[in-house]
A and B are shown apart, each in its own frame.
Chain A
Amino acid sequence: MASTTTTAPRPVAGGEPLLVVSRSWRSRVAARLGAVVLVAPGVLWLTAFFLVPLAIIFVVSLGTKDAAGHIVLDHLGLQNYAQATRPEYLPAFANSLRYALITTILSIAIGYPIAYWISRYGGRHKILLLILVMLPFWTSYLIRTYAWMIILRDNGVLNGILQGTGLTSEPLILLNTDVSVILGMTYGFLPFAILPLFVSIDRLDEHLVQAARDLYASGRGAFLHVTLPLTMPGVIAAALLTFIPAIGDYVTPDLLGGAQTTTAAKIVQVLFTSGRDWPYGSALGFILMIVTLGGTLLALRFLRRELFA
Chain B
Amino acid sequence: MKSSNRWLTAFAVAIYAFLFAPIVVLIIFSFNNSRRTFVWRGFTLDWYPRLFENADLLDALRITMEVAAVAVIASTILGSLLGLGLARLRFRGSGATETLLLLPMVTPEIIMGISLLIFFFQLFGAVGSVGQISIAHITFCISYVAVTVRARASGMDPRLEEAARDLGASAWGAFRHVTVPLILPAVLAGAMLAFALSFDDLVVTAFNSGVGSTTLPIYIYSSIKFGVTPQINAISTLIVAVVSIALFIAWRLGAFRQEQTSLAIEDAPAA
Query: Is B70 interfacial (CB 8 A cutoff)?
Result: no
Residues 256-268 of B, flagged 1 when their CB comes within 8 A of A and 0 if not, give: 1101100100110
Query: Is B73 interfacial (CB 8 A cutoff)?
Result: no
A242–B122 alpha-carbon span in the complex (Å): 33
B4 proximity list for chain A (CB < 8 A): 219
Q: CB within 8 A of B256: which of A128, A142, A196, A203? A: A128
Q: Are A117 and B111 in contact (CB under 8 A)?
A: no
Q: Are B23 and A136 in contact (CB under 8 A)?
A: yes
Residues 194-212 of A, flagged 1 when their CB comes within 8 A of B and 0 if not, give: 0110111011011110000
Shortest Cβ distance from A152 into B: residue: B22
Interface-forming stretch among A80-88, A172-180, A277-285? A277-285
Given A34-B85, A45-B142, A157-B25, are A126 and B111 neighbors across the interface (CB < 8 Å)?
no
Q: How far is the CB of B265 from chain A (nearest CB, A)?
A: 12
Query: Is B33 interfacial (CB 8 A cutoff)?
Result: no
Q: How far is the CB of B192 from chain A (nearest CB, A)?
A: 5
Q: CB within 8 A of A31: which of B18, B90, B97? A: B90
Number of A interface residues at 8 Å Cβ cutoff, please give it: 118
Query: Is B133 interfacial (CB 8 A cutoff)?
Result: no
Number of B interface residues at 8 Å Cβ cutoff, please give it: 118
A32–B197 alpha-carbon span in the complex (Å): 32
Query: Is A69 interfacial (CB 8 A cutoff)?
Result: no
Q: CB within 8 A of A147: which of B25, B89, B108, B146? A: B25
Q: Are B139 and A49 in contact (CB under 8 A)?
A: yes
Query: Is B171 interfacial (CB 8 A cutoff)?
Result: yes
Shortest Cβ distance from A200 into B: residue: B151
Interface residues of B (CB under 8 A from A): 1, 4-5, 8-9, 11-12, 15-16, 18-23, 25-26, 29, 37-38, 77-79, 81-82, 84-112, 114-116, 118-119, 122, 135-136, 138-139, 142, 144, 146-148, 150-156, 158-159, 162, 171, 185-186, 188-190, 192-193, 195-196, 199-200, 202-203, 216-217, 220-221, 224, 228, 232-233, 236-237, 239-240, 243-244, 247, 251, 256-257, 259-260, 263, 266-267, 270-271
